[in-house]
Chain A
Amino acid sequence: MSKCGCTCSDAKEKQLQEIIEKYKNTEGALIPVLHEAQEVYGYLPLSVQSKIAEGLNVPLAEVYGVVTFYTQFSLYPKGAYKIQVCLGTACYVKGAALVLNELQKELGIEVGKCTEDGKFSLDACRCIGACGLAPVIMINDDVYGRLKPEDVKGIIQKYKDMTE
Chain B
Amino acid sequence: MHFYRAHVLCCAGTGCTSSKSLDIISNFEKYIKENQLENEVKVIKTGCFGLCAEGPIVVVYPEGTMYVRVSPADVKEIVEEHLVKGRAVQRLLAGHDKTAEVSQSLDNIEFFTRQKRIALRNCGVINPECIDEYIARDGYSALAKVLTQMTPQQVIDEVTASNLRGRGGAGFPTGRKWQFAANSKGDIKYVCCNADEGDPGAFMDRSILEGDPHSVIEAMTIAGYAIGANHGLIYIRAEYPIAVQRLKIAIQQANEYGLLGENILGTGFSFDLQIRLGAGAFVCGEETALMTSIEGKRGEPRVRPPFPAVKGLFGKPTVLNNVETYANIPVIILKGAEWFNTIGTERSKGTKVFAVGGNIVNTGLVEIAMGTTLREIVYDIGGGIPNGKKFKAAQTGGPSGGCIPAEHLDTPIEYDTLTKLGSMMGSGGLIVLDEDNCMVDIAKFFLEFTVDESCGKCPPCRIGTKRMLELLEKITSGDGEDGDIEKLEELAKSISKSALCGLGQTAPNPVLSTLRYFRHEYEAHVYDKKCPAGVCKAMLHYHIIADKCIGCGLCARKCPTSAISGDKKQPHVIDQSKCIKCGVCMESCKFAAIYRG
Chain A residues with Cβ under 8 A from B202's Cβ?
Answer: 127
- Could you tell me the distance in whole angstroms from the C-beta of B424 to the nearest C-beta in chain A? 15
Residue of A nearest to B14 (CB): A129
- Pick the interface stretch among A2-10, A23-31, A113-121: A23-31
- Could you tell me the distance in whole angstroms from the C-beta of B271 to the nearest C-beta in chain A? 18
Cβ of A83 within 8 Å of any chain B Cβ, yes or no, is: no
Contact A132 B279 (CB under 8 A): no
Contact B279 A31 (CB under 8 A): yes
Q: Which parts of B428-444 form the interface with A (CB within 8 Å)?
A: 429, 431, 433, 437, 442
Contact A35 B277 (CB under 8 A): yes
Chain A residues with Cβ under 8 A from B532's Cβ?
Answer: none
Cβ of B55 within 8 Å of any chain A Cβ, yes or no, is: yes
Contact B296 A31 (CB under 8 A): yes
Residue of A nearest to B48 (CB): A129
Contact B276 A90 (CB under 8 A): no
Contact B201 A127 (CB under 8 A): yes
- Could you tell me the distance in whole angstroms from the C-beta of A146 to the nearest C-beta in chain B? 10
Contact A28 B294 (CB under 8 A): yes
Cβ of A93 within 8 Å of any chain B Cβ, yes or no, is: yes
Q: Report Cα–Cα, A90/B55, bound state, in Å.
A: 16
Contact A89 B280 (CB under 8 A): no
Q: Which parts of A46-90 form the interface with B (CB within 8 Å)?
A: 62, 65-66, 69-73, 87-90
- Residues of B in contact (CB 8 Å), total 51
Contact B14 A134 (CB under 8 A): no
- Could you tell me the distance in whole angstroms from the C-beta of A82 to the nearest C-beta in chain B? 13
Chain B 64-85, CB-CB to A under 8 Å as 1, else 0, gives: 0000000000000000000000
Contact B52 A131 (CB under 8 A): yes
Cβ of A40 within 8 Å of any chain B Cβ, yes or no, is: no
**Which one of A72, A73, A127, A136 lies within 8 Å of B18 (CB-CB)?**
A136
- Could you tell me the distance in whole angstroms from the C-beta of B264 to the nearest C-beta in chain A? 23
Q: Report Cα–Cα, A143/B18, bound state, in Å.
A: 5
Contact B201 A31 (CB under 8 A): no
Cβ of B172 within 8 Å of any chain A Cβ, yes or no, is: no
Cβ of B328 within 8 Å of any chain A Cβ, yes or no, is: no
**Which one of B19, B201, B359 lies within 8 Å of A88 (CB-CB)?**
B201
Chain A 12-43, CB-CB to B under 8 Å as 1, else 0, gives: 00000000000000011111101100000000
Known: A130-B14, A136-B18. Contact between A90 and B280, CB under 8 A? no
Contact A87 B14 (CB under 8 A): no
- Could you tell me the distance in whole angstroms from the C-beta of A53 to the nearest C-beta in chain B? 12
Contact A31 B15 (CB under 8 A): no
Cβ of A109 within 8 Å of any chain B Cβ, yes or no, is: no
Q: Report Cα–Cα, A114/B429, bound state, in Å.
A: 32
Cβ of B478 within 8 Å of any chain A Cβ, yes or no, is: no
Contact A129 B280 (CB under 8 A): no
Chain A residues with Cβ under 8 A from B201's Cβ?
Answer: 88-90, 127, 131
Contact A132 B395 (CB under 8 A): no
Chain A residues with Cβ under 8 A from B364's Cβ?
Answer: 131-132
Cβ of B281 within 8 Å of any chain A Cβ, yes or no, is: yes
Contact A66 B298 (CB under 8 A): yes
Chain B 291-328, CB-CB to A under 8 Å as 1, else 0, gives: 00111111100000000000000100000000000000
**Which one of B15, B295, B297, B455 lies within 8 Å of A129 (CB-CB)?**
B15
- Could you tell me the distance in whole angstroms from the C-beta of B232 to the nearest C-beta in chain A? 14
**Which one of B277, B314, B357, B363 lies within 8 Å of A31 (CB-CB)?**
B277
Residue of A nearest to B17 (CB): A143
Contact B52 A65 (CB under 8 A): no
Chain B residues with Cβ under 8 A from A160's Cβ?
Answer: none
Cβ of B358 within 8 Å of any chain A Cβ, yes or no, is: yes
Q: Report Cα–Cα, A27/B54, bound state, in Å.
A: 44
Q: Which parts of B130-152 form the interface with A (CB within 8 Å)?
A: none
Known: A90-B357, A93-B359, A126-B239. Contact between A132 and B445, CB under 8 A? no
Q: Which parts of A93-128 form the interface with B (CB within 8 Å)?
A: 93-94, 125-128
Contact B299 A131 (CB under 8 A): no
Chain B residues with Cβ under 8 A from A32's Cβ?
Answer: 276-277
Residue of A nearest to B54 (CB): A132
Contact A128 B437 (CB under 8 A): no
Chain B residues with Cβ under 8 A from A30's Cβ?
Answer: 296-297
Cβ of B225 within 8 Å of any chain A Cβ, yes or no, is: no
Contact B239 A130 (CB under 8 A): no
Contact B314 A133 (CB under 8 A): no
In this complex, the interface size class of chain A, counting residues with CB under 8 Å from chain B, is 35 or more
Q: Report Cα–Cα, A142/B19, bound state, in Å.
A: 9
**Which one of B13, B19, B445, B582 lies within 8 Å of A145 (CB-CB)?**
B19
Contact A90 B358 (CB under 8 A): yes
Contact B296 A29 (CB under 8 A): yes
Q: Report Cα–Cα, A1/B194, bound state, in Å.
A: 35
Chain B residues with Cβ under 8 A from A133's Cβ?
Answer: 15, 18-19, 52, 55
Known: A71-B279, A93-B358, A93-B359. Contact between A132 and B15, CB under 8 A? yes
**Which one of A28, A87, A127, A136 lies within 8 Å of B276 (CB-CB)?**
A28
Contact A130 B298 (CB under 8 A): no
Cβ of B219 within 8 Å of any chain A Cβ, yes or no, is: no
Chain B 259-294, CB-CB to A under 8 Å as 1, else 0, gives: 000000000000000001111110000000000011
Known: A89-B445, A94-B359, A134-B363. Contact between A71 and B280, CB under 8 A? yes
Chain A residues with Cβ under 8 A from B395's Cβ?
Answer: 89
Cβ of B355 within 8 Å of any chain A Cβ, yes or no, is: yes
Cβ of B53 within 8 Å of any chain A Cβ, yes or no, is: yes
Chain A residues with Cβ under 8 A from B203's Cβ?
Answer: 127, 129, 131
Chain B residues with Cβ under 8 A from A27's Cβ?
Answer: 295-296, 314
Q: Report Cα–Cα, A126/B18, bound state, in Å.
A: 16
Cβ of B170 within 8 Å of any chain A Cβ, yes or no, is: no
Chain B 35-78, CB-CB to A under 8 Å as 1, else 0, gives: 00000000000000001111100000000000000000000000
Known: A89-B431, A145-B18. Contact between A129 and B206, CB under 8 A? yes
Residue of B nearest to A131 (CB): B357
Chain B 341-370, CB-CB to A under 8 Å as 1, else 0, gives: 000000000000001011100011000000
Chain A residues with Cβ under 8 A from B54's Cβ?
Answer: 132
Q: Report Cα–Cα, A133/B358, bound state, in Å.
A: 10
Q: Report Cα–Cα, A87/B448, bound state, in Å.
A: 11
- Could you tell me the distance in whole angstroms from the C-beta of B311 to the nearest C-beta in chain A? 16
Q: Report Cα–Cα, A71/B298, bound state, in Å.
A: 12
- Nearest 7 A-B pairs (CB), nearest first? A132-B52, A90-B357, A143-B18, A89-B201, A70-B279, A28-B296, A71-B280
Could you write out 26 A-B pairs with CB less than 8 Å apart?
Answer: A27-B314, A28-B294, A28-B295, A31-B279, A32-B276, A65-B298, A70-B299, A72-B278, A73-B279, A88-B201, A89-B395, A89-B398, A89-B431, A93-B357, A93-B442, A94-B358, A127-B199, A127-B200, A128-B14, A128-B18, A128-B239, A129-B203, A131-B201, A133-B19, A143-B18, A149-B582
**Given A72-B280, A130-B15, 16 new contacts (CB under 8 A):** A28-B295, A32-B276, A69-B299, A70-B281, A72-B279, A88-B201, A89-B199, A89-B358, A89-B429, A93-B437, A127-B201, A128-B239, A131-B201, A131-B364, A134-B357, A142-B18
